[in-house]
Structure 1
Amino acid sequence: MPFSVQIVATPETSASSVFGLYDTLVAAGRDWEHLVSGEEPTPVFDVSLVGPDAEGFRCGSGVWIAPDQTFKNADDADIVVVPGLTLSPHDRLDPTQHPCLAWLAKRDLAKTRIVSACTGAVYLAEIGILDGVEATTHWAWEGLFRRFYPNVRLRIDRGLCFADASRGPVTSGGTTGWQELATFLIAHYGGTQRAVRAAKVWLMANRGELQSPFSSMITTAPHADAIISRAQLWISDNYAIDNPVAEMAKRSGLPPTTFARRFRKATSKSPQDYVLALRIEEARQLLETTDCSVVEVGEAVGYADTPSFRRLFKRKTGLTPVEHRKMFGQSRFSSYS
């Protein structure tokens, strides 16, 4: 019998995540057979949408969704999928505004596996099932996890995380990361051959395990520390100088340890990590928007030793500078304009 799958559909859900997962999971064991082999279809999954009511509503993307089941009357399922959600990357959830949380918390984890795509991992973190395990989510929500869910072993560099392929939570990375989650579910519950066929039918390229090439190392997180705000403003123009962290702390007027503590509290990064992130982001911009050589890019952001710059860039982004330019540089998009 097909495995039963419930995809959460709430006013916060992303339409692309909900319907992308729905289409690919429903098609497993069906579309290849219709389009290519002529074999009798044997669906892997029985998929339905579960939400707060069956009357319908507009989801976070503005698309109308009408769930098949409600949280009050839904049957048990083998798998519950929490898709991407339109949530604040700064503020913790108010459980009273998210009835799905209470419903998820009541699932019997011995019978039902709960997995997530993109920011759906916030729900899993909120009910505690990610405590102590590696998990990923959209990179822009890293600060939220660091502040409110410190027990999650966050791997924002990864595109897919699970401790055990056979049981327990599975989380996938940002936005179109639902494709990797769908591929995992098809491969695990339907077998490798069906996963290969799904990848071919849906043109789901292997993006590798990494989310790092797509993430920004600097995100804007509001805070009320005026001294740190001024330090951030200064370093944004002076990150390439020698020993910028010491100069930034000196300009703040605070003792170095106090400055470092307040800086981390305000930005979720140490001053050293923040400067490194600024340098890498500026290097990315130069690679994407100019024809500067790798040597020139490295020097522009404060690295005179080109081999060291290449190694650092690869370690932080998952790509070499040349690979990054090929993926995100002007030449890729110039023919579209």
Structure 2
Amino acid sequence: MTQQITIGLLMYPGAQLSAVYGLIDLFLSTNRIAMEHTPRTVEPLLVSRWQINPNSKRVEVIDGNGPRQLTVVIIPPNLESRGTDEPDAVLLDWLKAQHEGGAVVCSICTAAFVLARTGLLNGRPATTHWALKDVLATQFPEVYVQTDQMVIEDGDIITAGGVTAWIDLGLKLIDRFLGPSVMLAVAQFFLIDPNGREQRFYSKFAPQFYHGDEAILRVQHWLQTHYSEAIAIADMTAVASLGERTFLRRFKKATGMKPIEYLQALRVGKAREMLEFSQTSFSEIAWKVGYEDQGAFRKVFVRLVGLQPGEYRRRFSVRAMAG
């Protein structure tokens, strides 16, 4: 007889119900599939929901009989949150107590902000939605924010990135507790790609313009219309009317990127648009965004996006979406 795995889903104001009930459906179906696919006796995953009882001011189970100490705690996202909400201290204390008792604590998307407020992410790698990377990194500088990945499994802490990353997290937990064969069978039943996704497949380059440095903003606006030209640092410093060392320092401070990194990201963003909305060949796209060497641009594209241009077009072009 294997150990009973108990999974608690934490309900709190604004919690995304589609993630909560989607995970419940996923785990309940997993129990049935596990019984069918494993010859040994399998303890079913025991799933429960938890929330603060307004009368007792304690976090308590709200459906069924949940154990006081859980194997896994999952914090669902809040689609209305931008990381500024202050969770109830009772909730944060309960999360820390569950972790201290041996629970694997998991967050999805914006729930990384809730988890970060417990201090459990300090010194740890973590992910959240790619659009909130800078917000999380600024609010919690002791967290190593890495939003390229959809799921970061760091032993007793697991963070998942996108709004629908509850699917990836669910498969990760099934793999951990019931094994890869059950996980693959569940993925097949739900028509989910079990090979994993990365957020960088989906995240678009969104440069920061609200930094207050007029000279750097002038360069950014210039780059938006001149990105396809042969551009050197000297061209940018001329637009900014700054010396090179001052320009490099201020550009990195304002945008979070080096000028060449920024230009590469801008060009890759333009290339992604062309791959999505046209049938233009990649060699022509490379030329249109300012690269004479198609091979060099391909390497940059794969490094930033994580997919070959052809694969990106197959996944994300308008035709692919329509098909």
TM bin (shorter chain): 0.7 to 0.9
User: 2:6, 2:118 → 1: CA distance?
Assistant: 22
Alignment partner of 1:80 out of 73, 81, 90: 73
| Deviations 1:50-88 (CA, angstroms, capped at 9, x unpaired) | 224579xxxxxxxxxxx9449xx9933221111222355
In structure 1, distance between residues paired with 2:322 and 2:192: 24
- Cα drift, residue 111 of structure 1: 1.9
Q: Note the C-alpha offset of 1:285.
A: 0.3
Distance change >3 Å, CA 76–CA 334, structure 1 → 2: closer
User: Is the CA contact 1:238–1:244 (under 8 Å) kept in the aligned structure 2?
Assistant: no
> What whole-Å deviation, never above 9, does each CA across 1:285-333 have from its counterpart, x for those lacking one?
0111112111110011111101111121112111111111111113213
* Cα distance in 2, alignment partners of residues 230 and 102 from structure 1: 47
Q: Which runs of 5+ in 1 are unaligned?
A: 56-66
The two structures have a TM-score, normalised by structure 2, of 0.84
Q: 1:294 to 1:37 in 2, by over 3 A?
A: closer
Aligned-partner residue type, residue 5 of structure 2:
F
Tell me: CA distance 1:106–1:2, structure 2 relative to 1, closer, same or farther (3 Å). Answer: closer
Partner Cα separation in structure 2 for residue 19 and residue 96 of structure 1 = 22
Map of 1:208-247 to 2, 5 A cutoff? 208-218=196-206, 222-247=210-235
Shift of 1:37: 7.0
Partner of 2:184: helix, strand, or coil?
Answer: helix
* Aligned match for 2:21, one of 4, 19, 22: 19
Q: Label 1:31 to 1:244 Cα distance change in 2 as closer, same or farther (>3 A).
A: same
Give secondary structure in 2 for the equivalent of 1:95: coil
Once the two structures are superposed, what CA deviation does each residue of 1:223-280 show, in whole Å capped at 9, x if it has no partner? 4444433332222112222225442333223333333333333333232222111111
Alignment gaps of 5+ in structure 2 = none
- Distance change >3 Å, CA 209–CA 327, structure 1 → 2: closer
Cα 1:334–1:6 shift into 2, 3 Å: closer
2-side partners of 1:189 and 1:176: how far apart? 21
Q: Which of 139, 153, 162 is the aligned partner of 2:153?
A: 162
Q: 1:96 to 1:251 in 2, by over 3 A?
A: same
For 1:323 and 1:10, how far apart are their aligned partners in 2? Answer: 39
After superposition, give the CA deviation of every residue in 1:2-48 in whole Å (9 maximum; x if it has no partner).
Answer: 32211122223222222222221233222565xx6799995532212
Q: 1:246 to 1:26 in 2, by over 3 A?
A: farther
Q: Counterparts of 1:135-284 in structure 2 under 5 Å?
A: 135-164=126-155, 168-218=156-206, 222-284=210-272
Indicate the SS of the match to 2:275.
helix
Structure 1 residues 15-94: aligned runs within 5 Å: 15-31=17-33, 33=35, 42=42, 44-53=44-53, 68-69=61-62, 75-86=68-79, 88-89=81-82, 93-94=84-85
How far the C-alpha of 1:98 sits from its partner, in A, is 7.3
Distance in 2 between residues matched to 1:102 and 1:271, nearest whole Å: 43
Q: Contact 1:136–1:155 at 8 Å: present in 2 too?
A: yes
| Structure 1, 194-203 or 247-256: larger mean CA deviation | 247-256
1:29 counterpart SS class? helix
Q: Secondary structure at the residue paired with 1:156?
A: coil
TM-score computed with the length of structure 1 as normaliser: 0.81
Q: SS where residue 7 of structure 1 aligns?
A: strand
Amino acid at match of 2:286: G
Aligned length: 315
What CA RMSD, in Å, does the superposition of the two structures yield over aligned residues? 3.1
**Residue type at the aligned position of 2:243:** P
Percent identity of paired positions between Structure 1 and Structure 2: 29
Alignment of 1:93-112 (within 5 A): 93-95=84-86, 100-112=91-103
**1:288 aligns to what SS in structure 2?**
helix
* Separation in structure 2 between the aligned mates of residue 148 and residue 281 of structure 1, nearest angstrom: 27
**Cα distance in 2 for residues equivalent to 1:98 and 1:125:** 13
8 Å CA contact 2:6–2:67 kept in 1: the answer is no
- Secondary structure at 2:120 match in 1: coil
Q: 1:293 to 1:193 in 2, by over 3 A?
A: closer
> 2 CA distance for matches of 1:249 and 1:161?
39
